[in-house]
Structure 1
Amino acid sequence: MARRPGRPRDTELQERVLVAVNELIDEAATITVSAVVERSGVSRAAIYRRWETLDKLTAAALDVGRMVVRPPEGLPVREALKYGFPTPGKGRVGAFPEDRLRQRLLLALADIDLQREYWRGHVSQRRVPLLELLERGREQGEIRADADLEAALDLLSGVFYYQIVVRGESLANPETLERCNAAMDIIWSGISVAAADR
């Protein structure tokens, strides 16, 4: 079959491999290079040319559907933060199935090397715009000068993970998102200059 114009072969192979890995993830199957080769039809050599390790490949597949969110310019920081997290009435950020999120958590918790690779290569990169937003808030005097912004972002993200990991809730549930939004307000009150001045 002729290749479609405008789509480099490398891109086609990459997509086939990532689809194959995500199919294995969704089936809760063991992810091995042999299984990916069989499922995708892409050679072992071609896979290793693109991803040096199985952890790098799995991390890349886990991140399919995730997105780097850049809040609109000109909003107060607290309002802009809502664009980086699911909120009531807005739904989840990105097009990432919750079942895959749960499976991702299982895989990462079972494999510390995969967990660290996913953090280094993907999660830490998605945090950059939100850290920049918080830094801007500090520069503009909305956020306390002594606030630990990395810790604040960990707290904000942790609110949502706790619902899934500990409470067994769905982020599609409006009540769950209302609870998360209330927790975000509490965290904001801890780093906000206005709240500290009250």
Structure 2
Amino acid sequence: MPFRGPGRPRAAGLDERVVAAALELIDAELPVTAGRLVERSGVSRAAIYRRWPSLADLVAAALDRGREPLEIPIDGDLRSAIFESFLGGAERQPSTYSDERMRQRLRLALADRALQRAYWDAHVSRRRVATLTALRAGIDRGVLRDDLDVEACVDLLGGVFYYQLVVRGVPMTDADALARCRAAFDVVWRGMAAGSA
């Protein structure tokens, strides 16, 4: 029999009802408050706070709903796999994760540092693991420099794509944006490649 921690067992479906209520509020551009969540979900305030330590944590979970985990195959051409992972994440958002949801995530996180931190801790930092793993595989194979700061490289590579989406405001389906990303990625890759120091 599996171990159950202290406290009451979780009732099936409560988490989903609360997250769905939070998304309704977010999509309606209404503030996510405990009172509104209770009213829309039918879940008590105490039950909500038993599941999420803060409303920022709950909103972060809601904003990530519908996003697919990032996977990068490391057994083939790492350069292409890493490039496609960034492109694929921007280009193939599932239908449950709309462009408007992404824009709401950016607006809300930039307006609320606690939410920005919660989203980073619970979701972004985990999504980076696949890229970090792929870069480390490149170092192990001798494809990439062994003195790379892989955390900084993930920031740099991510910035190439986010700049197009967030600053320029163009999708990755735009041919010019794709060409800019490819050119910038090539510059970064040459700097990371073994023998480039």
Partner residue in 1 for 2:87: 86
Q: Percent identity?
A: 49
Q: Secondary structure at the match of 2:138?
A: helix
Query: In the TM superposition, what is the alpha-carbon distance from 1:15 to its structure 2 partner?
Result: 1.1
How far apart are 1:80 and its partner, in Å?
Answer: 1.6
TM-superposed deviation, 1:9 = 6.7
Bigger Cα displacement from structure 2, 56-65 vs 41-50: 41-50
Q: Distance in 1 between matches of 2:117 and 2:28?
A: 23
Other-structure match for 1:99 = 100
What residue is the counterpart of 2:6 in the other structure?
Answer: none
The correspondence of residues 106-125 of structure 1 with structure 2, limited to 5 A, is: 106-125=107-126
**Which residue of structure 1 lines up, in the alignment, with residue 38 of structure 2?**
37
**1:27 and 1:74 mapped to 2: Cα distance?**
44
Question: Using the alignment, how far apart are the partners of 1:142 and 1:112 within structure 2?
Answer: 38
Q: Which moved more, 1:57-66 or 1:32-41?
A: 32-41
Name stretches of at least 5 consecutive residues in structure 1 with no aligned partner. 1-7
Question: 1:170 is matched with which residue?
Answer: 171
Q: Corresponding residue for 2:190?
A: 189
Query: Residues 1-198 of structure 1 correspond to what in structure 2 (within 5 A)?
Result: 10-87=11-88, 91-94=91-94, 96-193=97-194, 196=196
Post-superposition shift, 1:183? Answer: 1.8
Check conservation: 2:91, 2:171, Cα contact below 8 A: no
- CA separation of 1:177/1:20 partners in 2, compared to 1, >3 Å: closer, same or farther? farther
- Are the structure 2 counterparts of residues 64 and 12 from structure 1 closer, same or farther at C-alpha, using a change threshold of 3 Å? same
Q: SS of the residue aligned with 2:71?
A: coil
**What do the CA deviations read for 1:1-60 (whole angstroms, capped 9, x no partner)?**
xxxxxxx97341111111111121122111111111112222111111111110110111
Q: State how far apart, in whole Å, the 2-side matches of 1:166 and 1:28 are.
A: 22
Which deviates more, 133-142 or 17-26?
17-26
1:142-177 per-position Cα deviation (integer Å, ceiling 9, x unaligned): 111122111111111112221232212233434323
With over 3 angstroms needed to count, the CA separation of the structure-2 counterparts of 1:11 and 1:184, relative to structure 1, is farther
Please tell me whether the aligned partners of residues 86 and 93 of structure 1 are also in contact (alpha carbons under 8 angstroms).
Answer: no
Which residue of 1 is the match for residue 4 of structure 2?
none
- AA matched with 1:31: V
Answer yes or no: is the 8 Å Cα contact 1:68–1:126 preserved in 2: yes
**Residues 87-107 of structure 1, C-alpha deviation per residue, up to 9 Å, x if partnerless?**
5xx933555212111111111
**For the residues of structure 2 that align with 1:135 and 1:25, how far apart are their CA atoms?**
37
TM-score by length of 1: 0.85
Aligned residues: 187
SS in 1 for 2:168: coil
8 Å Cα contact 1:37-1:43 kept in structure 2: yes
CA distance in structure 1 between the partners assigned to 2:102 and 2:42 by the alignment? 26
Q: What is the CA–CA distance in structure 2 between the aligned matches of 1:151 and 1:78, rounded to whole Å?
A: 17
Measured on the aligned residues, the alpha-carbon RMSD in Å equals: 2.1
In structure 2, give the amino acid aligned to 1:171: M
